[in-house]
């Protein structure tokens, strides 16, 4: 095979198939020899539901969290050269629309995003990207850890939108990869308290390790209680009489969203990072009565990958413990299944070696 790729045909139907090797079609294009691809919740969703294949008939090359080695570059590329080790930003915006021009390319409606139908994903040997979407990684960073730059950039974007400043009390719901990174980034942005909330004890044990015990706390809400009651218990247990300055929801769970709103101080900021159901019950009167600011956070924007790399390079965040398992290319579906069962933090798939 010249370009083996893991292709999804429908729910629980994925095979290694050959695809043409991509070519440099623009002067700023880059071909990357993929080394590792991280598994994300959306991959599991695609695997279980066949992606959006109901809308798009064509089979889909999976994967969007990737790192690899630059294979070829177009004539105008100056920031990277063949042989460089890079983390990939998996979406290429149109650069021309109003949103792109206004500096919010993450909401570009013409975004070409890996494994977002109909665009092919990164679970392939050779992947075509653009030079400004490839970030050289530090010498000491193993390529399998570099796949974490994508979820870390998601966290940086959310924490930036939240406006976390020195001294803030920050609560993060959800202790999956993105939630953990949000908590760690909030700490590094100067939060005085970071409380990580999840229903799974093993995730919280990991959160303790990652955030540290100096400013980091963890909590498990009681699912038998209402969000208001859970909020009251958390306020008492963690000295939040005036409420939290910032709540970031990386869970998408209705109960968490509601509890988060009740935990905020008046005038506080709520940021939705995690995606759950399309609509949930939401205590909207709290938003008015207490002038709470609510923001949505989608992927990452200008500077977020650089900030993510900077945090790792300065030793603020240790990526090693995040990598749970590395699966062979041919066993990509085992990696999705393991992630679907909630096993570990980040499962990674190794791209074909030769």
Of 100 and 348, CB closest to Zn ion? 100
CA-to-CA dists, residue 308 to 89, 101, 116, 177, angstroms: 12, 23, 23, 14
Give the SS3 label for residue 101. helix
Q: Under the rule (CB under 5 A), what is the footprint of Zn ion? A: 40, 93-94, 97, 100, 108
What's the closest the beta carbon of residue 99 comes to Zn ion, in angstroms? 6
Nearest Cα to Cα of residue 216 among 244, 193, 239:
193
Q: How far apart are CA 200 and CA 220, in angstroms?
A: 8
Nearest Cα to Cα of residue 117 among 5, 8, 252, 278:
8
Angle between helical axes of 332-340 and 41-49 (0-180°, round to 10): 110
Nearest Cα to Cα of residue 145 among 72, 212, 65:
65
Q: Are 264 and 290 in contact (CB under 8 A)?
A: yes
What's the closest the beta carbon of residue 94 comes to Zn ion, in angstroms? 3
Of 231 and 335, CB closest to Zn ion? 335
Of 230 and 297, CB closest to Zn ion? 297
Of 190 and 296, CB closest to Zn ion? 296
Nearest Cα to Cα of residue 90 among 122, 58, 136:
122
Of 184 and 261, CB closest to Zn ion? 184
What's the closest the beta carbon of residue 92 comes to Zn ion, in angstroms? 10
Q: How far apart are CA 226 and CA 232, in angstroms?
A: 10
Give the SS3 label for residue 222. coil
Give the SS3 label for residue 131. helix
Of 108 and 323, CB closest to Zn ion? 108
What's the closest the beta carbon of residue 232 comes to Zn ion, in angstroms? 34
Whether cis (ω within 30° of 0) applies to the bond prior to 118 is: yes
What's the closest the beta carbon of residue 161 comes to Zn ion, in angstroms? 17
What's the closest the beta carbon of residue 43 comes to Zn ion, in angstroms? 7
Of 108 and 194, CB closest to Zn ion? 108
What's the closest the beta carbon of residue 333 comes to Zn ion, in angstroms? 17
Of 114 and 143, CB closest to Zn ion? 114
DSSP state string for 304-344:
HHHHHHHHHHTTSS--GGGEEEEE-GGGHHHHHHHHHTT-S
What's the closest the beta carbon of residue 63 comes to Zn ion, in angstroms? 9
Q: Are 348 and 326 in contact (CB under 8 A)?
A: yes
């Amino acid at each position: 095979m010249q370009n083996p790729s893991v292709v999804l045909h429908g729910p629980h139907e994925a095979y290694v198939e050959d695809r043409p090797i991509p070519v440099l079609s623009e002067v700023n294009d880059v071909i990357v020899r993929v080394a590792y691809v991280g598994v994300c919740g959306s991959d599991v969703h695609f695997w279980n539901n066949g992606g959006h294949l109901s809308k798009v008939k064509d089979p889909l090359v999976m994967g969007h969290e990737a790192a690899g080695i630059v294979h070829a570059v177009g004539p105008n590329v100056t920031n990277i050269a063949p042989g460089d080790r890079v983390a990939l930003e998996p979406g290429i915006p149109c650069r021309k629309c109003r949103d792109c021009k206004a500096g919010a390319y993450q909401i570009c409606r013409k975004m070409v995003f890996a494994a977002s139908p109909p665009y092919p994903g990164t679970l392939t040997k050779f992947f075509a990207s653009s030079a400004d979407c490839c970030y050289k990684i530090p010498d000491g960073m193993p390529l399998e850890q570099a796949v974490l730059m994508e979820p870390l950039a998601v966290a940086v974007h959310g924490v930036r939108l939240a406006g976390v400043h020195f001294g803030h009390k920050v609560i993060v719901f959800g202790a999956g990869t993105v939630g953990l990174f949000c908590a760690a980034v909030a700490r590094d942005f100067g939060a005085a308290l970071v409380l990580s909330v999840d229903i799974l004890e093993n995730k919280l044990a990991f959160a303790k390790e990652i955030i540290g015990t100096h400013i980091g706390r963890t909590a498990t809400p009681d699912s038998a209680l209402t969000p208001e009651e859970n909020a009251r218990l958390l306020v008492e247990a963690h000295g939040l009489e005036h409420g939290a300055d910032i709540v970031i929801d990386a869970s998408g769970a209705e109960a968490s969203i509601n509890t988060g709103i009740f935990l905020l101080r008046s005038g506080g900021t709520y940021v939705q990072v995690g995606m759950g159901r399309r609509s949930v019950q939401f205590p909207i009167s709290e938003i008015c009565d207490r002038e709470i600011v609510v923001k949505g956070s989608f992927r990452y924007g200008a500077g977020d990958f650089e900030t993510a790399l900077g945090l790792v390079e300065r030793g603020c965040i240790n990526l090693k413990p995040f990598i749970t398992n590395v699966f062979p290319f041919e066993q990509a579906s085992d990696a999705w299944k393991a992630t679907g069962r909630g096993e570990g933090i980040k499962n990674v798939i190794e791209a074909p070696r030769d």
